[in-house]
A = this chain, B = another copy of it.
Amino acid sequence: MKDKKKELTKNQKIVLDFIQKSNKPVKAYSILSNVSKKGLKAPPQVYRALEKLMEVGEIHKIESLNSFVACNSKCIEPNGTIFSICKSCDQTKEVSNTELFKFLSDIKDMNGIELSGYNLELFGTCKTCKT
A-to-B contact residues, CB < 8 Å: 63-64, 79, 84-87, 93, 95, 97, 100, 103-104, 107, 110-127, 130
Given contacts A120-B119, A121-B63, contact A113 B100 (CB under 8 A): no
A86 to B100 alpha-carbon distance, docked (Å)? 22
A123 neighbours in B (Cβ, 8 Å): 79, 115-119
A93 to B3, CA, bound (A): 42
Q: Please name the residue on chain B nearest to A61 by beta carbon.
A: B64
Whether the pair B113, A126 counts as a contact (CB closer than 8 A) is: yes
Q: Which residues of B contact A119 (CB under 8 A)?
A: 64, 120-121, 123
With beta carbons under 8 angstroms apart, the residue of B103, B110, B122 that contacts A113 is: B122
Q: Write out the residue numbers on chain B whose beta carbons fall within 8 Å of the beta carbon of A126.
A: 111-113
Given A63-B64, A103-B103, also A122-B114 (CB < 8 A) = no
Q: How far is the CA of A124 from the CA of B84 in the complex (A)?
A: 23
In whole angstroms, what is the CA distance A68 to B113 when docked? Answer: 20
